[in-house]
Amino acid sequence: MMWWWQRPRPAVVLVCLVVSLVASVTEAAVNRDHPRQPSVRARAAVVMDATTGAFLYTKRPDEQLPPASTTKVLTATLALESGRLDESVKVSRSATRVQPSKLHLRPGESLRLRDLTRAVLLRSANDASVVVAEALAGSVKSFAAKMNRRAAELGARNTRFVNPNGLPAAGHLSTARDLALIFRHALDVPDFREIAGTPESRITAWRQKRRRTFYLRNSNRLLRGYRVPVVGKTGYTRAAKRCFVGAASADGREIVVALLGSTDLWGDARRLLDFGLAQPAPTVHVTTGKKGDD
């Protein structure tokens, strides 16, 4: 039984209907301008022109969904923007207790922040992400607040992060559009392209006189498995399914693709990339919230 105070108010219902209608009309308008649409199994997806910010394709672009490890794009971005990359950072016991995938760091070990950032982007290491968060903000909670402020500055206003790694958590949500905006910004951050575009790397942790070397292999298959290199970040949890955000350049133009909730990740990604790179470059700049836009 629904009591009178539980019934949705007419004004609230009207606002929800209007928001839904506007989103549907906007998506239809974007896709109408590009009639040959890719077949995408992902729950939500976008293709963006990286130069202008124009969206070339959208599918449920503003639906809030769990982003899994694509979260780590912003974690790495904040580390790279910190100006502290050469600092040595100590591993806490709490950081070692997070779920895999991880490096299996040990309490008291030290690593350079730059190397931790490599582990975050290439190995998708959940423990390294927590070490970064604690180093830059003192705690995971404080770092999440920092992430959310930065996301809002970049125009990602339908995003709320609870942790730095994308492990399942209540309220940890983003959208395909927001991930594209965050990634578009990351492309301009010094060292991001170089790190995200590295197929393999090694980093070192030390504790007193003992050293351990970790071998990192990039989880992004499209870095070498597509006709042009694709710089990007993967993500997966059972709830989120397969996720990806990345960018590719060809013939003087660059596109950003983002997809959430896919059951055919690499097929979806290739179809979005093929579609985006085949489109004529937009000539009108679109304000998307990227730093520096009005």
Decide if 241 is catalytic. no
Alpha carbon 257 to chain centroid, angstroms: 11
Give me the half-sphere count of Cα atoms (radius 13 Å) on the Cβ side of residue 158. Answer: 16
Decide if 69 is catalytic. yes
The one catalytic residue among 24, 39, 59, 72: 72
- Compute the C-alpha angle 79/237/205, nearest 5°: 40
Task: Give the bridge partners for 230, in sequence order.
Answer: 248
The one catalytic residue among 69, 129, 174, 262: 69
Which whole-number Å values give the CA distances from 70 to 101, 122, 179, 293, in the listed order?
14, 12, 8, 24
Residue among 38, 75, 114, 50 nearest 267 (CA): 38
Report how far residue 122's alpha carbon sits from residue 76's, in angstroms, rounded to the nearest whole number.
Answer: 11
User: What amino acid is encoded at 239 in this protein?
Assistant: A
The one catalytic residue among 59, 102, 124, 174: 124
For helices 126-137 and 140-153, give the axis angle rounded to 10 degrees. Answer: 80
Q: What is the rounded (10 degree) CA torsion for 197, 202, 207, 211?
A: -170
Decide if 124 is catalytic. yes
Q: Which residues are catalytic?
A: 69, 72, 124
